[in-house]
Amino acid sequence: MRTSYDCIIIGAGISGAAIAYELSKKGYQTLNLDQLTAAGLGSTSNTCAIIRTHYSTLEGTAIAYDSWFDWDRWDAYIGISDEKGYARFNQTGLINIYHQRKIPEKHMKFHDALGIPYEIWNREKLLNRMPHFVDDSFYPPRRPEDPRFHDLPEKKIDDTILYYPNDGYINDPVLSVHNIQRAAEAHGAVFLFNAKVVSIRSDENGVMGVNLKDGSRIDAPILVNAAGPHSAGINQMAGVAHKMNIKTRPLRHEVHFVPSPETFSYDRKGMVVGDGDLGGYHRPETGNLVLVGSEDPACDEKDWVDDPDQFNRDVTLAQYQAQTYRLAKRIPELRIPNKPKGIADLYDVSDDWIPIYDRSDLKGFYLAIGTSGNQYKNGPAIGRLMAELIHASENGHDHDAEPLQIRLRHVDIALNMGIFSRNREIIQGSTFSVLG
Ligand SMILES: Cc1cc2nc3c(=O)[nH]c(=O)nc-3n(C[C@H](O)[C@H](O)[C@H](O)COP(=O)(O)OP(=O)(O)OC[C@H]3O[C@@H](n4cnc5c(N)ncnc54)[C@H](O)[C@@H]3O)c2cc1C
């Protein structure tokens, strides 16, 4: 095997694979290293894979919409056939229930600016489409052990409900990364699995390469940290962690599955529902199930993890009950089996829940991290943004002094990449949650 490449990418999740794809199209000889046995088996494997466009910043909204075009025409984005077939975009539409009027106003402003379709619904229209819902407000979200959890509702949810017809979810996120791997390989990219990076070599001129757990050494002048929840550890190895204003750390998160209500088939009629009033979201899941996720309401203690290789992968009864009992307030007929079913995995959370797509203080070392539970959908744009950034920086552009303005592929905007800087001040307009 070769021991020298133009660029090594640590990680073969959605981010690392998409970066390899775009860099290899530019002629870079890339190598993705992943400690797992195949692509997409890290945190990407447990993503809920919701494809939506509402974010707390114009830039976040723009890259989500830019990527949406690729999910919508996935075969055109991938450009080759994959022996495993293609991942599928289930375009169910998404409704967002709010508890505070100022949030939908911001979403509408960004969608208007970028020409993204949406509709304004009211409670009546919501109940027509989702007749199994109640339109009471239960805000603020509480835990079932809180005696106030059972208080009777006194108000209704906000009468402004936004419907996004474009949105939905990807049926098989691991397959989607395999598709990108195959597309990258068609341009010469190489993927190596069971390959754990244990140290990074550099000198005063910048990055030199990596050492693997099996003792082998691979050289490259460019190295990308796309290690998901392991990003902070990789930054430590590179010696750049203390030189960044924004830090990342792993947060454990649970998602649960319950049967679809008897009177409403989620398989046939379900949509993605963001429910800010309940502090959660849900969507259809294969097998006529309902997938129940959480938007990290303040009442739920955050489960920060020190070592991303050591965390509890089993769901807990307490969190299962918290998330599903909350949803049962919106769907009184929801059936909740006693035995919890679901997954637990890690977000790579940045200080303001906005990602870091940037260079670093070590020449040749780049960052695609801090994806904060909400960047799967942005994979295609991440690949393009990082490839442009790396290409410009390697050709002498000082991105710190003069942040790159990048024209997106499908959306008519010159995106200021400075918003994703490692040295930004915390973005106060963020939701500081999985919503970004
Ligand atoms: C429960 C859950 C639900 C989510 N829901 C959504 C959603 O609905 N929509 C959305 O857009 N996003 C969602 N996300 C977020 C999304 O999944 C992530 O933003 C995205 O998958 C991150 O991809 P990644 O490639 O950056 O990281 P990963 O997929 O984690 O890939 C990183 C890879 O790096 C490898 N690696 C790490 N360290 C090393 C090392 N030392 N040597 C070699 N390899 C290494 C790992 O093995 C891993 O494969 C969710 C996340 C979770 C956990």
The CATH code for residues 7-86+172-247+352-420 is: 3.50.50.60
User: How many CA atoms does the CB half-sphere of 255 hold within 13 Å?
Assistant: 22
Q: Is 35 in the pocket of ligand 1 (CB under 6 A)?
A: yes
Give yes or no on whether 7-86+172-247+352-420 and 94-165+252-344 have one common fold: no
Q: What residue segments make up the domains of the chain, in order of their start?
A: 7-86+172-247+352-420, 94-165+252-344
- Range list of H helices, 2-101: 14-25, 58-72, 74-78
Q: Where are the beta strands (DSSP E) in 138-288?
A: 155-156, 161-164, 168-170, 190-192, 197-203, 206-212, 217-219, 222-225, 248-259, 272-275, 280-285
Ligand 1 pocket mutation, candidates 31, 47, 92, criterion most atoms within 8 A of CB: 47
Give the integer Cα–Cα distance in Å for 109 and 105: 6
Q: From the alpha carbon of 375, which atom of ligand 1 is closest? A: 19
Task: For the chain, give the mean pLDDT.
Answer: 97
pLDDT in tens, the chain (436 residues): 799 999 999 999 999 999 999 999 999 999 999 999 999 999 999 999 999 999 999 999 999 999 999 999 999 999 999 999 999 999 999 999 988 666 788 999 999 999 999 999 999 999 999 999 999 999 999 999 999 999 999 999 999 999 999 999 999 999 999 999 999 999 999 999 999 999 999 999 999 999 999 999 999 999 999 999 999 999 999 999 999 999 999 999 999 999 999 999 999 999 999 999 999 999 999 999 999 999 999 999 999 999 999 999 999 999 999 999 999 999 999 999 999 999 999 999 999 999 999 999 999 999 999 999 999 999 999 999 999 999 999 999 999 999 999 999 999 999 999 999 999 999 888 888 888 8
Torsion of CA 269, 272, 273, 274, to 10 degrees: 180
Report the nearest-CA residue for atom 21 of ligand 1. Answer: 44
Give the distance, in angstroms, between the CA of residue 253 and the centroid of all CA atoms in the same chain. Answer: 13
Q: Is 256 in the pocket of ligand 1 (CB under 6 A)?
A: no
Residue whose entry in the numeric block shows the structure tokens 């949803």: 327
Give 228's strand partners. none
Give the length of the chain. 436
Q: Is 357 in the pocket of ligand 1 (CB under 6 A)?
A: no
Q: Is 179 in the pocket of ligand 1 (CB under 6 A)?
A: no
Helix (H) or strand (E) holding 385: helix 379-394
Ligand 1 pocket mutation, candidates 230, 282, 350, 382, criterion most atoms within 8 A of CB: 230
Q: ∠ CA(433), CA(435), CA(436), 5° rounding?
A: 80
Confidence (pTM): 0.98
Q: Where are the beta strands (DSSP E) in 315-390?
A: 342-350, 356-359, 365-369
Q: From the alpha carbon of 228, which atom of ligand 1 is closest? A: 27
Q: From the alpha carbon of 377, which atom of ligand 1 is closest? A: 11
Give the integer Cα–Cα distance in Å for 418 and 405: 8
Q: From the alpha carbon of 344, which atom of ligand 1 is closest? A: 1
Q: ∠ CA(221), CA(79), CA(177), 5° rounding?
A: 60
Give the integer Cα–Cα distance in Å for 346 and 357: 19
The CATH code for residues 94-165+252-344 is: 3.30.9.10
Give the distance, in angstroms, between the CA of residue 251 and the centroid of all CA atoms in the same chain. Answer: 13
Tell me, in angstroms, the distance from the centre of ligand 1 to residue 150's CA.
36
Q: Is 49 in the pocket of ligand 1 (CB under 6 A)?
A: yes
